[in-house]
């Protein structure tokens, strides 16, 4: 069987970490002073992906100790494990410019910031899975700016701001199982149009 890999971000994608105990939602576990809330449908999604032949991996920009603890907890109810767990140390930093134009039309440099990038090439080197069979699911488009064809955006999970049930991981499960039944590669789909359709 052809290998296919889904790489998940953690914060605001699969979980939400808060220093606050939320009155309307039971936390799933703790990490140090944080209450960790699993997104609705996490267990279902991981189960379905495994059952349909996807492999999964974790790539978070957070610190390693946190990422390992959250990943261990997320996979606890399952008999399978992620292929890899990558954290902030595995990210790359990209310099980004913001330009501005004055009244006369002269463009000048306004700000320069460093942005965290999750390099898919690293995942390819690590797993030997071709890039066209890898998708990264993340709530922040900039994190995957270099990997537009392999990127599936998902709405930000924030139960503090929005305590209503969150349907995204169920929709994602449906979408990913649908494309696995149709295609040999994953980057042929227009994942951006899926995101627009759902929102
Ligand atoms: Mg995130």
Residue 184: pLDDT band (50, 70, 90) is: low
Report the separation in Å between the CA atom of 85 and the middle of ligand 1, taken as the mean of its atom positions. 15
Neighbours of ion ligand 1 (CB under 5 A): 9, 11-13, 139
Mean pLDDT of 74-101: 90
Residue range 150-167: mean pLDDT, rounded? 93
For the segment 8-44, what is each residue's pLDDT rounded down to a tens digit?
Answer: 999 999 999 999 999 989 999 999 999 999 999 999 9
Give 9 Cα–ligand 1 centroid separation in angstroms. 6
| The model's pTM | 0.89
Compute the distance from residue 17 Cα to the ligand 1 centre, in Å: 11
Distance from residue 86's CA to the centre of ligand 1 (Å): 14
Predicted pLDDT of residue 146: 67
From CA 38, how far away is CA 47, in angstroms rounded? 15
**Residue carrying the six token digits 């797993």:** 127
Q: Classify 4-198 by CATH class.
A: alpha beta
DSSP states of 77-115 as a string?
TSS---S-EE-GGG-EEEEEEEEEE-TT--EEEEEEEEE
């Amino acid at each position: 069987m052809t290998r296919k890999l889904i790489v998940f971000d953690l914060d605001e994608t699969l979980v939400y970490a808060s220093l606050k105990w939320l009155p309307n939602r039971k936390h799933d576990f703790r990490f140090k002073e944080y209450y960790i809330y699993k997104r609705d449908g996490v267990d279902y999604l991981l189960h379905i992906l495994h059952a349909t032949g996807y492999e999964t991996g974790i790539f978070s920009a957070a610190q390693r100790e946190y990422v390992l603890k959250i990943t261990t907890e997320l996979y606890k109810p399952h008999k399978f494990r992620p292929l890899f767990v990558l954290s902030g140390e595995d990210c790359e930093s990209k310099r980004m410019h913001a330009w501005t134009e004055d009244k006369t039309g002269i463009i000048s440099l306004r700000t320069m910031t460093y942005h965290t990038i999750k390099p898919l090439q690293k995942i390819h080197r690590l797993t030997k899975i071709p890039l066209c069979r890898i998708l990264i699911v993340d709530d922040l488009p900039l994190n995957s700016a270099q990997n537009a064809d392999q990127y599936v955006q998902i709405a930000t999970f924030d139960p503090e701001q929005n305590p209503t049930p969150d349907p995204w991981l169920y929709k994602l499960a449906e979408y990913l199982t649908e494309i696995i039944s149709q295609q040999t590669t994953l980057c042929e789909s227009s994942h951006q149009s899926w995101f627009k359709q759902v929102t």
